[in-house]
Structure formats: structure tokens, C-alpha cells
Amino acid sequence: MADLGIPRNTIEILQKYNFNFQKKYGQNFLIDTNVLDKILSAAEITGEDCVLEIGPGIGTMTQRLAERAGEVVAVEIDRNLIPILEETLSPYDNVTVINEDILKVDIGRIAEEKNGGRPIKIVANLPYYITTPIIMGLFENHVPLESITVMVQKEVAERMQVGPGTKDYGALSLAVQYYAKPEIVANVPPNCFIPRPTVGSAVIRLTCYGKKPVQVTDERKMFALIRASFNQRRKTLVNSIGNAPGLGISKEKAAAALERMQLPPTVRGEALTLAQFAALSDLV
């Protein structure tokens, strides 16, 4: 089978099937063998692994995954790509293609059926418009995961790994760092894709924690608190929390909790660490 990481092979198969890119699915296919190799080495795929690939496209990365992994499940939303995948993946008997929206797939069941419930690895070139819902969905549904190695918009990758006090620090940074250790493994310019995206991209590996770095009584409540704190970034934490509908925490209660934590009443959400948010959540 021709290597789809080589641009002319990608163009050839797209022309053969008269494929039209769908803007609504955020389709940008990778055409750089070096970047593909970087993703695979970062994901550390072995013959023992069951890999879930989100958005296989025409199967460029799927082919490489199939050669290394024990089992590959590829979830593709665009049904126009299914016949192409049937051709490009025909040499491999360890790949299952599911034509479905990843946000509606029961990944826990896939892990159960294909990997005996053991943690799976996720590899993806994610559509940028739904990167955050996909990643948060994987974490919040407590899918058994070992690692997530994904191509995302560069600024989103940076947001996932920054710490307090920076302008990019926010709810996504805290959520990712609660569940996993983030590490950017490659920056990828627009010319590595067809069609070219308008933004730079990066490959980030999220190594999932067995034991969370902080302990909190109510995870859900902590994240509601975090979201409220960053919804109105310029406001003090007391005001952000006190004004948040549905949280049910008064400004007085928030101020008293901050005082117990020896934090000033004027502190903003962007100054707090994950451990401080966990402590605050337990106090209120």
C-alpha cells in the first residue's frame, strides 16, 4: 500500500474518490512523514497496545498505527471517507473503523471489548473546533486511558501546559493538569497539511495519572468553581464565584474561605494553583 504520508499519494487517492473537504468537520490531512514519526514515537505504541484513533481521515496515521499496535479502533464521522479507509486499510486485519461522532461513542465499551477493560492509548489529529470537548469528554467520563497523543492548535497545546499567573492559564490548563501530565513534543507548521490550516499546530502528549496530583472531596464541584473563576477573568475570585449562577456560594462565604487559606480578598482565579482550587472547593 502506498505511504499516504507522501503528498502525491494523498492527492492521488483524494482524486480517485473525488473527495471534497468538509469545512464543518475541520479536515486537514497530515502530509509529512517526519511529523507522523514524531507522533508515533511520542505515543510509544507497542504490540501490546489497543489504540483509539479519532478522525483517521484517509488512514495516513492509521496505517502506521496498525503496523505497531495490537489493535486499532478508528472513529471517523465523515461517511464519505469510509470507502477510502476500506481501501487504504485493506492490508490490515487489526483495524476496526467506526463511522460515528466521537462525542457519542462509548469508549469505555471499546476498551472493554477490545482490551479487556485495560487502559487504551489515544492518538489523533483533532479537528480544532472541538478539541476541548473531546479531551474533556475523555477525562470526565473516566475512560480507562494510558495516554493521549494529539495534534491540536498550537495555542491550545500551550494553554494545556501553562501554570498560574500567565494569560493563557485557565480552566483547560487546570482540568488537563488534574488528569494528566502534559508535554508538547513537536510544533507543526501549516505546510505539513492539506489543505493548509490558517494556524500553527502542535503535538502534545498527555500522560494520564493513576493517582491524581491533588485530592479533592467533590471533583465536579471543584471544576464548577474553576469555570466560574475564569468566566469573568478580570473580576476578583470573590466576585466571580459570588456572581456565578447555580454555584450557590455567597461572596461572604468565598471571602471567608480565602481568608482561611491566607489569600487576599482581591485575589483573581488566575493566581491560584490546582492544589489551592482543591482546598477552596473543600472549604466552601
In order along its 284 residues, the chain shows pLDDT tens digits of 789 999 999 999 999 999 999 888 989 999 999 999 999 999 999 999 999 999 999 999 999 999 999 999 999 999 999 999 999 999 999 999 999 999 999 999 999 999 999 999 999 999 888 999 999 999 988 889 999 999 999 999 999 999 999 989 999 999 999 999 999 999 999 999 999 999 999 999 999 999 999 999 999 999 999 999 998 878 999 999 988 888 889 999 999 999 999 999 899 999 999 999 999 999 98
Picking from 284, 245, 243, 247, the residue whose alpha carbon sits closest to that of residue 263 is 284
Cβ-based burial of 142 (10 A; exposed 0-12, middle 13-18, buried ≥19): exposed
Identify the domain boundary among 176, 208, 240: 208
- Tell me what pLDDT residue 63 has: 97
On whether both 193 and 238 belong to a single domain, the answer is no
| CA–CA gap between residue 164 and residue 237 (Å, rounded) | 14
- Considering the domain architecture, whether residues 53 and 173 belong to the same structural domain is answered as yes
Q: What pLDDT is stored for residue 231 in this prediction?
A: 87
Q: Print the domain residue range for 233.
A: 219-283
Q: Answer yes or no: do 53 and 84 share one domain.
A: yes
Considering the domain boundaries, does residue 213 fall inside one?
no
Output the CA–CA distances (angstroms, integers) from residue 112 to 107, 138, 147, 177, 234, in the order listed. Answer: 9, 15, 17, 26, 45
Does 87 reside within a domain?
A: yes
- The whole-number pLDDT of residue 199 equals 94
Which of 38, 57, 35, 50 has its CA nearest to residue 127?
57
DSSP letter (8 states) at residue 180: E
Identify the pLDDT of residue 242: 87
* 147 shares its domain with 258: no
User: Do both 202 and 225 map to the same domain?
Assistant: no
Q: pTM of the predicted model, to two decimals? A: 0.93
Count of domains observed in the chain = 2
Q: 258, 238 in Cβ contact below 8 A?
A: yes
Of 142, 176, 208, the residue at which a domain comes to its end is 208
Q: Does residue 213 have a cis bond before it (omega within 30 degrees)?
A: no
Q: Are residues 61 and 12 in the same domain?
A: yes
pLDDT at 234: 85
The 8-class DSSP code of residue 52 comes to E
